[in-house]
Structure 1
Amino acid sequence: MASAGDGRAAADDETALEPLCLSIQSHVVHGYVGNRCAVLALQLHGIEADCVNSVQLSNHTGYGHFKGQVLSGEDLDSLTGGLRTNGLLAAYTHVLTGYIGSESFLRRVVGVVDEIRDCHRAAGRPDVSWVCDPVLGDDGRCYVPESLVSVYRSEVVRRATTLTPNQFEAELLSGVSIRDLSGACEALAALHDMGCPTVVMTSSDLPEAGEGKMLLVASCPWEAVEGDSRLWPEGEFGLGDSACFAVRIPRLEGAFTGTGDLTSSLLLALGERQGRGKLASACLLAVRALQAVCRVTAEFAASPAGQARARAAEEVAASSGAPGAKAPPPELRLVQARKHITDPPQCDGVSWHAVVSGAVCPAVSFDGRD
């Protein structure tokens, strides 16, 4: 997955650093989205994380009301200036980004990543991995200013080590309409052509998924999966411009927030833990961990305590008088599911498939830790 982690694991180098991630995304006081998801997942996997909150809200926007602050580009400059003065920017081995709401802030994030990478080049260290979740929208709706799309296209995609869009975001960035797996592969190839070596489309609604399921579709250099080469049909590994594979994911009843944020952080953490050439394993384990977290969350939502909490939320929403106010979906039960985050269990219905010539191959049975 990440070249920075690969280089440190392979080298007995005095210049190597312990993994340290700078996570730049949203924050909520209550609940689990953005940095509240990402930092916990990273730390549970033994990766220390520092966070910059692009926005700081009382709760996520799925509630009837929310309050908070938006960090400006100048605020980011101030924070990174303090890190720079104390020599701390040079310590980051990974950057993880999620929701960013303004063009000026995104451009400053690009500058911060460039500066960190310059520090590593000057010290002769491996390059810094940037896992970028381009949070732009979902279900056909863009919920950030359209100007951000062009910045992602022109400045971010070519700098990111790993891009983790959903289907709608992959379409926006690539300019390719995705209606089936062939279209997904075309979109991911377009993002490679724009400069990003690894793209993981974390969720998609494609006919090849089958009824009641969706697909994670990933495309990457062959060396990113060389440790999982046995998973491809005989004679197919190393063919084509990129390695491509998919993970089938059962759709669970109910709505969940923060799943994209959790997925990106898990891909970073598991990519680091699995080591060089094991992106396929990391993706499978990330999906299993996410499924387990969502199932623990759904079980709580169906319990008497969860139903009582939902009724209270519905009453608050009904009495608020706010147009369109509604009860939010249950918050992810990350703490309660922490053992599943660190040790993803087998999950019924989750299956890994090589993708060859735009077609899904039969499922491959493996643990992800083999």
Structure 2
Amino acid sequence: MSVTVLSLQSHVVQGTVGNSIAVPMMRAMGVRAWGMPTALLSNHNGRSSVAGIPIDSEQIDAMVSALDANGELKHVDAVLSGYLTPRTGPAVLRTVERCRAHHPDTMWICDPVMADMTPDGHIRAYAPDETVAWMKQAVHRADVVVPNLAELGILTGTEPRTLDEAIDAAHSLTGPRFVVVTSVPYREDDGDAIAMIGVMGERTILTHGPLLDNHFNGSGDLTTAVLTAELVKGTSPDVALGKAAGVVHDVLKRTATHPGDELDWWPEDAIAQPWKTVILAPNAPSRVGRSS
């Protein structure tokens, strides 16, 4: 039986960010993905020109109500959210609760899009202060949280720079059952690398591989989409983490050979080989989910 993800993120006409990458990738991975826009934009808002239409909370609530009236919310197994504001965020929380009214075990996977790291290792927040304040409160209600290193620092009031500091900060984040941290610096025998860590209870999962020294818009959205697709299908957290790293690396490696910042992805990337994972601490459940 097919599993369903309701993804609330922005939609762009040109580019591969938000639902414009998350929905097609999850569908390629065998998940029934429904994309509900939180904004309709011409392109990524980091470009010199952008135009579009914001979707306010009343419109989101109305669309969710229509889905519910049509008997569709009962099919939702997970809700995925990306960039949120204090206006759209509460509507997402209401959506999660409405889905859980049908299925108490519906997961909320939250990508707390707020910031990134500058080349010299400082946190660069691009979300307004009110969005940051709202997210710091809301994230404790999520089942799975997928911050990058900068966002982890904001959420925990820390300044993680190393692998050990990232692990400690992720363990300090209360509420979520599974915390996945992306873009963690790592050192391999042959040079600089990149790591992802997953913290679940007492267990820490680590995967790492070659560092591609480029910035690609949408790579975080792609990571969370692959992770969500695997988790909602019942894949174990360690395998899901390795799969996300493997798919994203293959896409970014291909993208690096082409001009522009649009991800060069193909449906065939859904079968990319997962990176190897290492369990640093063994005592934790083997699946991600909610208690009914």
Name which of 339, 345, 360 aligns with 2:268: 339
Name which of 228, 234, 237 aligns with 1:268: 228
User: Tell me, what secondary structure is at the counterpart of 1:40?
Assistant: helix
Name which of 114, 136, 139 aligns with 2:97: 114
TM-aligned CA deviation for residue 351 of structure 1: 5.0
Find the counterpart in structure 1 of residue 184 from structure 2.
Answer: 204
Find the counterpart in structure 1 of residue 193 from structure 2.
Answer: 213
User: Tell me, what secondary structure is at the counterpart of 2:231?
Assistant: helix
TM-aligned CA deviation for residue 212 of structure 1: 2.3
Find the counterpart in structure 2 of residue 317 from structure 1.
Answer: none
**Corresponding position: 1:248 with 2:208:** yes
Find the counterpart in structure 2 of residue 38 from structure 1.
Answer: 22
**Corresponding position: 1:185 with 2:110:** no
Find the counterpart in structure 1 of residue 130 from structure 2.
Answer: 147
**Structure ID, larger Rg:** 1
User: Tell me, what secondary structure is at the counterpart of 1:90?
Assistant: helix
Aligned pairs, number: 277
**Corresponding position: 1:174 with 2:156:** yes
Change (3 A) 1:243 1:79: same
Change (3 A) 1:174 1:134: same
Distance of 1:151 and 1:209 partners within structure 2: 41
Find the counterpart in structure 2 of residue 94 from structure 1.
Answer: 78
User: Tell me, what secondary structure is at the counterpart of 2:141?
Assistant: coil
Distance of 2:108 and 2:188 partners within structure 1: 30
**Corresponding position: 1:290 with 2:270:** no
Percent of residue pairs identical: 30
Name which of 90, 102, 108 aligns with 1:130: 108
Distance of 2:66 and 2:231 partners within structure 1: 30
Change (3 A) 1:159 1:94: same
Distance of 1:298 and 1:183 partners within structure 2: 30
TM-aligned CA deviation for residue 180 of structure 1: 2.0
TM-aligned CA deviation for residue 47 of structure 1: 0.6
**Corresponding position: 1:49 with 2:33:** yes
Alpha-carbon contact 2:186-2:192 (below 8 Å) kept: no
Alpha-carbon contact 1:266-1:286 (below 8 Å) kept: yes
Structure 1: gaps spanning 5 or more residues: 1-16, 122-126, 222-241, 307-328, 358-370
Distance of 1:219 and 1:72 partners within structure 2: 33
Distance of 1:296 and 1:153 partners within structure 2: 35
1:3-42 equivalences in 2 (<5 Å): 18-42=2-26
**Corresponding position: 1:353 with 2:273:** no
Distance of 2:73 and 2:281 partners within structure 1: 41
Cα deviations by residue, 1:203-255 (Å, 9 ceiling, x for unpaired): 1235689832122111014xxxxxxxxxxxxxxxxxxxx11021113221433
User: Tell me, what secondary structure is at the counterpart of 1:256?
Assistant: coil
Code of the residue aligned with 2:220 in structure 1: it is G
Q: Please, what TM-score do these two structures have when normalized by structure 2?
A: 0.88
Alpha-carbon contact 1:257-1:331 (below 8 Å) kept: yes
Change (3 A) 1:280 1:345: same
Find the counterpart in structure 2 of residue 228 from structure 1.
Answer: none
Code of the residue aligned with 1:355 in structure 2: it is L
Distance of 1:62 and 1:147 partners within structure 2: 20
Q: Please, what TM-score do these two structures have when normalized by structure 1?
A: 0.70
> Higher strand proportion, which one?
2
Cα deviations by residue, 1:1-43 (Å, 9 ceiling, x for unpaired): xxxxxxxxxxxxxxxx731110001111011111011001110
